[in-house]
Structure 1
Amino acid sequence: MTARALPLRGIRVVNFGVGGVAPWAASQLAQLGATVVKIEAPNEFIMHTLPPWRGLTTTYAALNANSRSVKLNLKDEGDRRLAWQLVDSADVMIENFRSGAIDRMGFGFDVVAVRNPRIVFCSSSGFGREGDMAGLPCTDPHIQAFSGFATLNGDTKGGERARYYGMIDLYCGQLICEAVLAALVARRTAGKPQYIEMTMLGGATSVLMTQLAGHLRGGPAPNHSDARHSAPDGLYSTSDGTIAITVESDTEFRALCAVIQRDDLARDTRFVTGQTRLANMQALDAELQKAFAAAPSDWWLVALGRAGIACARAHSDHEASAHRDTWRRGHLREIAIRDAGTLRAAAPPWDFEGINPVPGRAPRPGEHSDLLRKDPANFWVAVEREE
């Protein structure tokens, strides 16, 4: 089988997205076989705020992998007609402007659904169409702060800390991809347009589901220490680096104590059960830290692995991306960019048996504009032939 057999082969997607959320969602659909066209927003901030690379940015290339790109001025009547040429023949439309902005542009769901009754339409914003926060701008760090995510990732002194920039963006993009796939099925069975509303607040809240569950049943408010659901669970310094371990049962804890030659910890009433270990995490961490500091990481990884305890070396980004298993499993790939050579970036995490993945490539902003202007009626067919 070839790439033509990918699950979304023949599905057409128009992406009005900016930043990370919608472009990443559209890119995931493209890597499942859909044909994606991105309508570039004027002054796309991803192109101006991140480190440049050969006329664009690496982030833009990674977020828009396997998309096509056209530059259209939606205030110009001629360009609006070209945009409609794309939307009228699309299966999916995705946008993530501030709530209500796409309606003011004249491309809201109510209008699009009349012209294209087969459309799956997804709107994503920070806080949705209703409520006190509706219509406000929202970026990844803002939603990490507002949702409580940053607080849960704070330090032991109560400081708040956002995880790396883009974490919630990418997660929300994955959620949009899931919702669109379900809506494509619903369209087939219901025979009518499908509307999806996605909020970054909803995405961030779903990330916190396990931390919130206890609080919402009447327990204490979650804090940074609640990020661990078992103990020990975390990073520990060795004589030459850092390792991560997770113990998920009392049996595993006794095995850990045997490995570090501290059977007394297994008998200590503070650490006998999972609940008592969680209640005394700081004391347990201090004892384990002293033990792990006595030997190098490689020694511990072998010994812990033989005992059946989940463990791993803490890598830098560079070390992880260079690891042979990262490449062996195909988690990284080369993305081709016109007049710029290739860029190494993350590959789709899935692998369909018997189906070749889509070759990695990324557009230059507006790369396909001339093709659209030259023959708008046959544009979709022309770009599909490139695949």
Structure 2
Amino acid sequence: MRQALEDIKIIDLSRVFAGPAGSMVLGDLGADVIRVEAPQGTDSIREWSPYVNNESTYYLSANRNKRAITINLKSETGKKIFYEIVKTADVVLENFKTGTMDRLGLGYAALQKINPKIIMCSVTGYGQTGPFAQEPGFDPVLQAVGGLMDVTGDPDGEATRVGLPVVDIMSSLYTAISILSAIRARDLYGEGQQIDISLLDVQVSSLANVASSYLMKGHLSQRMGNNHNNIVPYQVFHCKDKPLMVACGNDNQFSTFCEVLGRPEWSKDEKFRTNANRVENRDELSEKIKTIMVTKNAEEWFDLLSEKSVPSGPVNNIKEVFEHPQVKARQMVEEVPHPTLGKVKLVRNPLRFSKMATSVQNHPPLLGEHTIQYLQEELGLSLEEIQRLKKEGAI
């Protein structure tokens, strides 16, 4: 089956998660992603546990559908090899500290001279400009600085980070979107360009209604635990066996919810009739609902609410997620061969097309796994030349 980016070559110098996960999305869409690391390794994510036979499961989660080569970009010979690769590439993706690529002689201005149509995407914590441009950027730090932690957690508890690297994940998607947009612009206008992705920018843009409430009204959103600042009931309720999330997004859904609970009169009560009333009387309504929800198991409530189209769902642990019948039906786990692990189970790309494939074509590569093959096939080097380059420390 065809893939959208079959003719696109991406040189990926990025490390950890935001950059690699972004290039992985493009690899899923058919791009030839060449992962470049130093001969001794560049990516600290390989050291992050848990491991399967010395392979980091964290690394495996962000690097499928890529080939891997090693080049010493600090050596002159290594730089020359990199320049040769750039001549036929469409994109260079990097997430070194701001200014590092320029100091190496590999910045956008230098690469543009080699390939005028090259697209260079730089992913950093704070961006290429501004007083914090030199600061290192790590997901939990950006969750803190960018306001996400301040609106996450219990009202009386401390600010809490989200349990997943959501700033990295969102940044990886913006990375993929920006590269696709730059490729489209190059196809239209014949020019490459430089892309500046800042994790802080991404986090600030994700504040959504919280940002709008402040910018338009000066309203500072508060931590609400599993509740919602502006909608009631939109929260977790404890059932007989486990918690259930209920999200009544409008008055009609609330009215139906009340019917399922056996309390239709609540939807006509002036204290609860409209969402504004319910927000004002949040505590009283929540206590009333809690006393009823604990009388049944979460799945029992889900079945009743689902039948009436009231949004709800049990709070599943990760084991339960992958045992969920819908997750299984959507085939969200794919097992692929791996050179040292036999087979690995990976989460599939969620994109579904009628005429394109997004399946896993290549396992997450070992460090430098494709160096010899790539230099032979793409640059036409002989085995003798490659061995010489290894001895020099260039690859």
TM over 0.5: yes
Equivalent residue number for residue 372 of structure 1: 374
CA distance in 2, matches of 1:366, 1:281: 57
Superposition TM-score, scaled by structure 1 size: 0.92
DSSP 3-state at the match of 1:364:
coil
Shifted more, 119-128 versus 276-285: the winner is: 276-285
Give how far 1:130 is off. Answer: 2.0
Give how far 1:6 is off. Answer: 0.3
CA distance in 1, matches of 2:318, 2:170: 19
CA distance in 2, matches of 1:324, 1:7: 30
Give how far 1:359 is off. Answer: 3.1
Give how far 1:294 is off. Answer: 0.9
Equivalent residue number for residue 35 of structure 2: 38
CA deviations over 1:29-53 (Å, ceiling 9, x no partner) = 0000000011125442101132222
Q: 2:25 aligns with which of 28, 47, 50?
A: 28
Give how far 1:335 is off. Answer: 3.3
Equivalent residue number for residue 46 of structure 2: 47
Equivalent residue number for residue 385 of structure 1: none
Which residue identity does 2:49 align to in structure 1?
A: L
1:210-221 alignment to 2 at 5 Å? 210-221=209-220
Give how far 1:373 is off. Answer: 4.2
CA distance in 1, matches of 2:210, 2:309: 27
Alpha carbons 2:333, 2:347 under 8 Å: kept: yes
1:56-95 alignment to 2 at 5 Å? 56-95=55-94
1:217-296 alignment to 2 at 5 Å? 217-225=216-224, 227-296=228-297
Give how far 1:100 is off. Answer: 1.2
Shifted more, 359-368 versus 370-379: the winner is: 370-379
Which residue identity does 2:379 align to in structure 1?
A: A
DSSP 3-state at the match of 1:124:
strand
Shifted more, 5-14 versus 359-368: the winner is: 359-368
Give how far 1:158 is off. Answer: 4.3
Equivalent residue number for residue 19 of structure 1: 16
Alpha carbons 1:9, 1:34 under 8 Å: kept: yes
Equivalent residue number for residue 172 of structure 1: 171
CA deviations over 1:188-212 (Å, ceiling 9, x no partner) = 1111112111100111112112111
CA distance in 2, matches of 1:320, 1:15: 32
Equivalent residue number for residue 355 of structure 1: 356
Which residue identity does 1:33 align to in structure 2?
A: G
Say if 2:312 is the partner of 1:315. Answer: no
Q: 1:378 to 1:322 in 2, by over 3 A?
A: farther
Alpha carbons 2:64, 2:360 under 8 Å: kept: no
CA deviations over 1:56-84 (Å, ceiling 9, x no partner) = 21111120111111122211222222222
DSSP 3-state at the match of 1:339:
coil
DSSP 3-state at the match of 2:30:
coil
Alpha carbons 1:335, 1:343 under 8 Å: kept: yes
DSSP 3-state at the match of 1:362:
coil
Structure 1 unaligned segments of length 5 or more: list them. Answer: 380-387
CA distance in 2, matches of 1:146, 1:286: 35
Equivalent residue number for residue 9 of structure 1: 6
Give how far 1:217 is off. Answer: 0.8
Shifted more, 75-84 versus 100-109: the winner is: 75-84
Equivalent residue number for residue 193 of structure 2: 194
DSSP 3-state at the match of 1:18:
coil
CA distance in 2, matches of 1:174, 1:243: 29
Shifted more, 75-84 versus 11-20: the winner is: 75-84
CA distance in 1, matches of 2:82, 2:49: 28
Give how far 1:336 is off. Answer: 2.7
Alpha carbons 2:101, 2:107 under 8 Å: kept: yes
Q: Over aligned residues, Cα RMSD in angstroms?
A: 1.8
CA distance in 1, matches of 2:317, 2:289: 23
Alpha carbons 2:16, 2:45 under 8 Å: kept: yes
Shifted more, 226-235 versus 283-292: the winner is: 226-235
CA distance in 1, matches of 2:174, 2:46: 24
DSSP 3-state at the match of 1:354:
coil
DSSP 3-state at the match of 1:85:
helix
Give how far 1:351 is off. Answer: 1.3
CA deviations over 1:130-158 (Å, ceiling 9, x no partner) = 22211110100000000010111121114
Q: 1:378 to 1:32 in 2, by over 3 A?
A: farther
DSSP 3-state at the match of 2:288:
helix
CA distance in 1, matches of 2:360, 2:46: 23
Structure 2 unaligned segments of length 5 or more: list them. Answer: 382-395
CA distance in 1, matches of 2:34, 2:335: 21
Give how far 1:110 is off. Answer: 0.8
Give how far 1:304 is off. Answer: 1.0
CA distance in 2, matches of 1:331, 1:375: 34
Which residue identity does 2:19 align to in structure 1?
A: A
CA distance in 1, matches of 2:85, 2:286: 58
DSSP 3-state at the match of 1:26:
helix
Shifted more, 195-204 versus 165-174: the winner is: 165-174
Equivalent residue number for residue 388 of structure 2: none
Shifted more, 195-204 versus 96-105: the winner is: 96-105
Alpha carbons 2:348, 2:359 under 8 Å: kept: no
Which residue identity does 1:9 align to in structure 2?
A: E
CA distance in 1, matches of 2:124, 2:280: 39
* Identity across the alignment (%): 24
CA deviations over 1:327-356 (Å, ceiling 9, x no partner) = 221222113321211221211111111334
Alpha carbons 1:211, 1:227 under 8 Å: kept: no
CA deviations over 1:303-346 (Å, ceiling 9, x no partner) = 11122201112111111112232122122211332121122121
Which residue identity does 1:65 align to in structure 2?
A: R
Say if 2:350 is the partner of 1:345. Answer: no
Superposition TM-score, scaled by structure 2 size: 0.91
